[in-house]
């Protein structure tokens, strides 16, 4: 298994070391297949996510930065699911260490959707047991319609935007006409913004505004749904993910914007 399927790259040796560590323990099956998890996921995915087409080639694992973490890798995860090891698959914290980047699908000859399997494994965790940081960020975003995971409300955002804009219009007169509108009806672009800038580093708002001003873009933030981050998606909380996305999209629609510019 080692060597043959390794990709040539700067981290070849590293991956080999990690795989060496994790192949020491044989997996023992109970003998009776009781799987329901992978079958349920198959029902939810187009073409069943191709989850039963694995050739065990290992291309996924050899190019996965999460290989070796928690003694797991994408192929092993998929094989364990296929073998009906539901308890292990739905309890390993590895599912929170896979970023669902989808590189494994890209290199897979059978285009198996392992990231979606990971997503549903996340979803199988009782909500309150999912990682506190992600959970807290999602819950915070649900508290008001700005959808800010850092809890910035409509007035907070408006104050920061107006304050910073005024300061820079004066300090840099070439941009005296620059705008940073909130809820501008009929603007072409609806722009969202990661909460980090307005909350912790407002000067970092400026470069984006200057670029938009320089190219003459007709744009606006929304008082609702301006926050670009969506931790509910990472939490695998479908309803909350949908709520946050819908809040932003509705605001863009209500304002009559033509293009949703996601800066995240």
- Contacting residues toward other proteins, per CB under 8 A: 9-11, 14-15, 63, 65-66, 68-70, 93, 96-101, 103, 106-107, 131-134, 136-137, 168, 171-172, 174-175, 194, 196, 201, 203-204, 206-208, 210-211, 214, 228-229, 231, 234-235, 264
DSSP state of 69: G
The helix/strand count (H/E) of the chain reads as: 13, 3
CA 35/CA 190 separation, integer angstroms: 45
* Closer to other proteins by Cβ: residue 18 or 224: 18
Q: In terms of DSSP H, where are the helices of 172-230?
A: 196-200, 206-214
CA 252/CA 185 separation, integer angstroms: 9
* Closer to other proteins by Cβ: residue 77 or 234: 234
* Closer to other proteins by Cβ: residue 55 or 101: 101
Give min distance, CB of 121 to other proteins, in A. 13
* Closer to other proteins by Cβ: residue 77 or 96: 96
* Closer to other proteins by Cβ: residue 83 or 150: 150
Question: Which long-range contacts link 13-19 to residues 24+ away (Cβ below 8 Å)?
Answer: 15/62, 15/67, 15/68, 17/68, 18/67, 18/68, 19/61, 19/67, 19/68, 19/73
Give min distance, CB of 102 to other proteins, in A. 9
- 8 Å CB contact between 20 and 2: yes
CA 220/CA 143 separation, integer angstroms: 23
Give min distance, CB of 6 to other proteins, in A. 13
Give min distance, CB of 31 to other proteins, in A. 32
Give min distance, CB of 107 to other proteins, in A. 8
Give min distance, CB of 32 to other proteins, in A. 33
Residue 152: HSE in the Cβ half-sphere, 13 Å Cα cutoff: 24
Instruction: Please provide the DSSP assignment of 103-153 as one string.
Output: HHHHH-TT---HHHHHHHHHHTS-GGGS-HHHHHHHHHHHHSTT--TT---
Question: Which token pair is 44?
Answer: 């939810």
Give min distance, CB of 114 to other proteins, in A. 13
Distances (CA, A) of 114 to 78, 146, 182, 255: 7, 33, 40, 38
* Closer to other proteins by Cβ: residue 137 or 148: 137
* Closer to other proteins by Cβ: residue 32 or 132: 132
């Amino acid at each position: 298994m080692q060597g043959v399927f390794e990709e040539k790259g700067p981290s070849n040796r590293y991956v080999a070391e990690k795989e060496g560590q994790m192949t020491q323990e044989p997996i023992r099956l109970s003998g009776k297949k009781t799987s329901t998890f992978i079958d349920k996921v198959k029902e939810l995915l187009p073409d069943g996510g191709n989850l039963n087409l694995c050739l065990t080639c290992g291309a996924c694992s050899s190019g996965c930065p999460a290989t070796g973490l928690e003694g797991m890798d994408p192929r092993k995860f998929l094989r364990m699911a296929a073998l009906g090891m539901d308890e292990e698959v739905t309890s390993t914290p590895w599912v929170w260490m896979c970023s669902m980047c989808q590189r494994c699908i890209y290199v897979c000859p059978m285009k198996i959707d392992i990231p979606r399997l990971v997503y549903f494994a996340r979803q199988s965790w009782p909500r309150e047991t999912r990682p506190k940081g992600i959970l807290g960020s999602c819950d915070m975003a649900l508290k008001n319609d700005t959808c800010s995971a850092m809890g910035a409300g409509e007035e907070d955002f408006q104050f920061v935007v107006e304050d910073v804009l005024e300061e820079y219009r004066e300090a840099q007169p070439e941009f005296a006409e620059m705008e940073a509108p909130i809820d501008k009806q009929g603007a072409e672009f609806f722009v969202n913004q990661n909460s980090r800038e307005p909350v912790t580093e407002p000067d970092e708002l400026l470069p984006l505004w200057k670029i938009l001003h320089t190219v003459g873009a007709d744009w606006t933030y929304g008082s609702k749904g301006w926050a670009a981050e969506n931790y509910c998606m990472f939490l695998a909380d479908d309803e909350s993910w949908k709520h946050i996305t819908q809040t932003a999209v509705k605001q863009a629609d209500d304002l009559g914007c033509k293009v949703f510019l996601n800066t995240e």
